[in-house]
């Protein structure tokens, strides 16, 4: 579906085209390609999950997930994005392709949004942002409080990858663009289970990405 609104891919600062050496030339960060985004979203935001539902996208970047969800029949989309650059791209392209009545994007941090807003959504999507929060139990509980049906999380895994023991630890990464080393806190799926299960959430879907040491989980309330 992204072929119908390709700007949500090509205008992402992480976009990489192997045939164009000027795209994401330093290679740092989680590269975005059309093929990878199609594979991810077909599993993450199915028509069953999206149709007639409201969606809150935390750390929405350029709102590619919003475009996908609306196209899959979502009733409404709300994006939360701290970067003014990403926010401007999202607003420009959402205006181009979708009715303003179906979406809204807020240029603010997730924690500020949590503080000011208690509204619940059918779906809460937290893609690639869990590891940017130090207190991950608090973050997961705040996501859960705003979820009516599905909570979707994509994040980095921790080693050993096949353990059933809840683990949350620091992991070295290279920052996008600069390539400078940094430490981020990563939590595994058993850790997320430990937080969400007592709140009534059941694991519906689990997808592992071994090459990138990432995973995607869908919890149903």
Q: What pLDDT digit, counting tens, does each position of 123-148 carry?
A: 999 999 999 899 999 999 999 999 99
User: Mind listing the pLDDT tens digit for each residue in 158-192?
Assistant: 888 889 999 999 988 776 656 678 888 999 999 99
The share of the chain scoring above pLDDT 70, in percent, equals: 93
Which strands make up the sheet holding 76-80, listed edge to edge?
103-106, 76-80, 54-58, 121-127, 147-156, 214-220, 202-209
For residue 74, what are the contacts with CB-CB under 8 A and spacing of at least 6? 50, 51, 52, 53, 54, 55, 102, 123
Structure tokens at 135: 């207190």
Rg (CA), the chain: 17
pTM of the model: 0.92
Assess whether pLDDT exceeds 70 at residue 60. yes
Architecture label for domain 44-220: 3-Layer(aba) Sandwich (3.40)
Domain ranges of the chain: 44-220
∠ CA 81-11-43, nearest 5°, is: 70
Please measure the distance between the N-terminal and C-terminal CA atoms of the chain and give it in whole angstroms: 28
What's the average model confidence in pLDDT over 35-62? 93
pLDDT of 127? 94
User: Across the chain, what does the average pLDDT equal?
Assistant: 91
């Amino acid at each position: 579906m992204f072929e119908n609104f390709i700007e949500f891919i090509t205008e992402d600062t992480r976009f990489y085209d192997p045939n164009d050496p000027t795209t994401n030339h330093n290679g740092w960060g989680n590269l975005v390609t059309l093929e990878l985004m199609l594979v991810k979203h077909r599993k993450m935001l199915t028509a069953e999950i999206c149709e007639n539902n409201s969606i809150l996208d935390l750390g929405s970047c350029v709102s590619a997930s919003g475009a996908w969800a609306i196209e899959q029949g979502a009733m409404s989309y709300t994006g939360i994005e701290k970067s003014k650059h990403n926010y401007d791209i999202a607003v420009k392209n959402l205006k181009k392709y979708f009715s303003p009545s179906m979406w809204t994007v807020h240029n603010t941090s997730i924690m500020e949004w949590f503080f000011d807003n208690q509204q619940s959504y059918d779906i809460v999507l937290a893609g690639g942002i869990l590891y940017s929060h130090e207190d991950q139990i608090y973050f997961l509980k705040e996501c859960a409080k705003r979820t009516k049906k599905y909570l979707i999380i994509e994040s980095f895994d921790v080693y050993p990858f096949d353990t059933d023991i809840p683990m949350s630890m620091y992991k070295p990464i290279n920052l996008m663009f600069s390539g400078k080393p940094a430490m981020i806190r990563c939590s595994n799926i058993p850790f997320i289970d430990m937080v969400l299960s007592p709140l009534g959430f059941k694991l519906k879907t689990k997808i592992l990405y071994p090459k990138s040491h990432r995973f995607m989980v869908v919890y149903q309330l």
